[in-house]
Amino acid sequence: MKRGFWSIVASLALLLGFADGAKGRDRMEKALFAGGCFWCMTPPFQQLPGVREVRTGYTGGQGENPTYEDYAERGFVEAVQVTYDPSEISYSKLLDVFWMQIDPTDPSGQFVDRGPQYRAAIFYLDEEQKMLAEKSKRELDRSGRYLKPVLTGIETADLFWPAEEYHQDYPKKNPIRYRMYKAGSGREAFLKKTWGSGKPEATDPPKKLNPLQYRVTRECATEPAFHNEYWDNHREGIYVDLVSGEPLFSSTDKFDSGTGWPSFTKPLAEENLIRKKDKSLFAERTEVRSKKADSHLGHVFADGPAPSGQRYCINSASLRFIPKEDLEKEGYGEFRKLFLK
């Protein structure tokens, strides 16, 4: 009798475990993007929190099982399939990263790679992805970032065929050749000119970040209190993301919180911040990250001064300070009005 009872218990546990596993797998979603050479589209997505896998491959053509030798003549396009956990990262965030890897004004290829097999496109898998893709395209087109119209296609997803194994994780397997290709193709210079330094790729650690800056922005470390660059900075100006240059905070909202870290009552540009639940250190806090670079900045607390009642406690190592007299020269002239008396 005992043996039969425990056999039933074991069977139920196995079934429940299987159900939980299936449920976990069901939470994963996929996104499909084309942006020219699929080597260059892999690292920016791989390093994102919540992304589980990025596969290079082919989509949108005729027939089955395309290869690198025949995919172009059969109408396929190089693409990447991103598998991600929507509870950790949104499809909108993936779209933001996608736009920062391509020239969306070029419908005939990408950079040195010409032809329809290298065209940029967003392949949506459901109506929600379609709606979000169209919205992000409209916003980018209206932003004025480009002098030409945004022409990247938004199309129904077709079957995705993984590329040969030597194309998978190519930047990691062949980092020197990859970096030479990316620089020589014109992509790197275009993206730097358009977006600034951008988020560093996992295969090419940022040379401009010192070890502390890297640990803070990329690994969510915290710098020492009272021993950091800006905790007692009283100059007038703005603070931007060290990696991407996104405007984040202003000296007009900075105050001495007594904590030993730069503290602000509110952000300079709300749209440049994202907030995430942080359950580390045995307590739930609200982490603050920059939107485009996804840099860890610090945390926000509800114990700040009036009128906001907020305290944005930020690591100096995540920031670059631009004094008010340099705003025009640095390309932030729109914020000069904050300091006019």
Catalytic center residues: 37, 313
153 DSSP assignment: E
* Cα–Cα distance measured from residue 60 to residue 38, given in angstroms and rounded to the nearest whole number: 14
Q: What is the helix (H) or strand (E) element at residue 1, kind and residue range?
A: none
Strands 153-156 and 29-35: unpaired
Number of Cβ atoms within 10 Å of the Cβ of 268: 21
SS3 228: coil
Angle ∠(142,144,150) on CA atoms, nearest 5: 65
* Cα–Cα distance measured from residue 50 to residue 29, given in angstroms and rounded to the nearest whole number: 11
Two tokens at 320?
């670059």
Cα 277 off chain centre by:
17
286 DSSP assignment: E
* Cα–Cα distance measured from residue 199 to residue 241, given in angstroms and rounded to the nearest whole number: 10
* Cα first-last separation, the chain: 87
Strands 120-124 and 153-156: parallel
